[in-house]
Chain A
């Protein structure tokens, strides 16, 4: 078996709070091959963003990795100190966020922020860095890149700012790009453009992408594989085609059904998943989805289901869909 670019094993993350430790991520394992795109989906609070922050070594002060390894190009990122992580971030792995306005420095011109990345990581001269930055802006679909170089972030639209972020993240040709809801704040029309640019550039640079999103439509259009998280745990992992053709976990099934989509014959009522996600402080024993699951039986509440192979998917469900 070839070694993957990124291999996460048994990752658990806790946050220290006044009410005691809260476990936000529980035994998450996955692998991502070079050049592939993995979608990480789930609703707010499911642990998808916390997982991605842990990969970058960017957990907030009260968060810590309790167990697990994050093997990136053979190095365990969980054991590295901040200085070592800083040398990797922006060069070997980089990240883009939902709101580019908070990620970009408002008092520096967009171009200077990209130039800084290049000078720091690749030791380029200012002239060479400028040329590379302009070339990169053109590649992310920015018209008149020379002019945009001297603009400040607030002078740009949301889509333009996100393109600047993408240019900055990819300018050093990282092996891994973590994109946390990169298009959630954008209009659908801009979203379509930005997603297309991320996909195309990642393919050209052979960069693997971990795409975190709540939108299964975005996953279907951009990812090779997908991982569904619920209440801190991975509940299903599958190639994109397999997941959408036959979701196995009952949560995935419910999630897919409840997406509002344009239909020739609109439904009288949208299917819903009843109830809400359990609180981190009051996780039930057994399957965490059982209380909302139409198929739940006694065993679901008694024991925690493990991920197991079923067709081309792995799912953590005692009574998976498509088996009856």
Chain B
């Protein structure tokens, strides 16, 4: 089997918060020991509540935020080991799409200028062919060639997001991180952009890391899903597997909380009580245990290890939960009986 396009190993990012001259402040573990692999043309969905660390993880993958520990390998290149010049060259292969196209596109530049900038910066194509490339890009994302002379404010939100996507595609990246790329869009437009993203990753063989708070959206774009809670991936699985057999109690609660457009469905009890604890003072043991309905005493005492569940093909189904740790439970039972 060929090596995956993107390999993330033990990626960790800590922040010092509230430090001063005489004390070091407290440690915020924003991203803790995250590992996953992603093939070209596939998408990895990253879901979780706000503050779970998913955006920090997305930015750390691209070294927009420097990792504290761990490695990111893109197409065999260790991104985390690159020096400044190497990183600049590598930027060509990794791009980002942001949530708010109003904020991430310069209002004073035409679409042509916005799309040409990355081409000029990375010296892609001969100067005279770059203009043609702009037309091509507009065509790919479903805008008209004549739109090149217009400014971002002349477009609707959905069209602006298409410009953001075209800009990311301009350099022919291998990896795109899309951070809540459709969250600001209306439903009817959102589905247009989701379909576009799904097409692009297939067509251009891009590895897409798709960050979203919306599990239903993730199901439509992604091939694998990672569920984050307080900086950790608590469950990762192939997408069909996760939605049919969610293993972590947190994943189940997230799925149950989504309002269904079906009034006949009995309204569920609020699936999850309480709120995300402060990442500055995470609970001991399993970080989810204070909100977990099926927690047992040991959940508060010991950090669960990562368990692999069943054969699932090339992508494993991993979960960090004591309830699935059958081996350890059996072992403990055996110990207590002797």
Contacts and interface: CB of A to CB of B under 8 A. Distances in A.
Whether both chains belong to one complex is answered with yes
A220 B268 CA distance: 12
Nearest to A187: B49
A215 B273 CA distance: 22
A272 B191 CA distance: 6
A263 interface: yes
A276 B161 CA distance: 13
Contacts of B190: 258, 260
B195 to A, nearest CB: 5
A273 to B, nearest CB: 4
B44 to A, nearest CB: 16
Contacts of A214: 186-187
Given A221-B263, A240-B263, A244-B263, A159 B275 contact: yes
B129 to A, nearest CB: 31
A260 B270 contact: no
A276 B159 contact: yes
Interface stretch (A17-25, A114-122, A164-172, A190-198): A190-198
Contacts of A321: none
A272 B195 contact: yes
Nearest to B47: A188
A263 B257 contact: no
Contacts of A270: 191, 194-195, 220
A263 B219 contact: yes
B27 interface: no
B216 A260 contact: yes
Interface string B241-263: 00110000000011111111111
Nearest to A254: B188
Interface string B33-57: 0000000000000000110000000
Contacts of B157: 44
Given A157-B275, A255-B187, A262 B261 contact: no
Nearest to B255: A262
Interface in B207-249: 213-217, 219-220, 239-240, 243-244
Contacts of A260: 190-191, 194, 214, 216-217, 219-220
A267 interface: yes
Contacts of B268: 192
A188 B220 contact: no
A44 B186 contact: yes
Interface residues of A, number: 46
Interface in B274-292: 275-276
Given A191-B257, A221-B259, A262-B258, A43 B194 contact: no
B334 interface: no
A256 interface: yes
Nearest to B264: A241
A127 interface: no
A1 to B, nearest CB: 26
Contacts, number: 133
Nearest to B218: A260
Contacts of B240: 266
Given A260-B214, A262-B243, A276 B158 contact: yes
A217 B270 contact: no
A196 B216 CA distance: 21
B191 A258 contact: yes
How big is chain B's contact interface, by range?
35 or more
A290 to B, nearest CB: 15
Contact of A264 (B186, B192, B244, B265): B244
B187 A259 contact: yes
B306 to A, nearest CB: 23
Query: Counting chain A CB atoms within 10 Å of each CB, which of B191, B239, B254 scores highest?
Result: B191
B190 to A, nearest CB: 7
A262 B216 contact: yes
Nearest to A156: B275
B127 interface: no
A187 B253 CA distance: 12
Nearest to A276: B156
Given A220-B260, A258-B187, A266 B220 contact: yes
B276 to A, nearest CB: 8
B271 interface: yes
Contacts of B198: 269
Given A214-B186, A263-B219, A273-B188, A192 B262 contact: no
Nearest to A267: B220
B259 A193 contact: no
B159 A220 contact: no
B259 A189 contact: no
15 contacts: A43-B186, A192-B270, A193-B272, A193-B273, A214-B186, A214-B187, A218-B259, A221-B259, A241-B264, A260-B214, A261-B258, A262-B219, A266-B239, A269-B195, A276-B189
Interface of B: 49-50, 156-159, 186-192, 194-195, 198, 213-217, 219-220, 239-240, 243-244, 253-265, 267-268, 270-273, 275-276
Given A214-B187, A260-B190, A260-B216, 8 more contacts: A160-B275, A188-B213, A189-B254, A192-B272, A218-B259, A244-B263, A261-B261, A266-B220
Interface of A: 43-44, 157-160, 187-193, 195-196, 214-221, 240-241, 244, 254-256, 258-264, 266-267, 269-274, 276-277
Q: Which 10 pairs, one residue from A and one from B, show the smallest C-beta to C-beta distance?
A: A217-B259, A43-B186, A273-B188, A270-B191, A187-B49, A260-B216, A188-B257, A258-B191, A189-B272, A192-B257
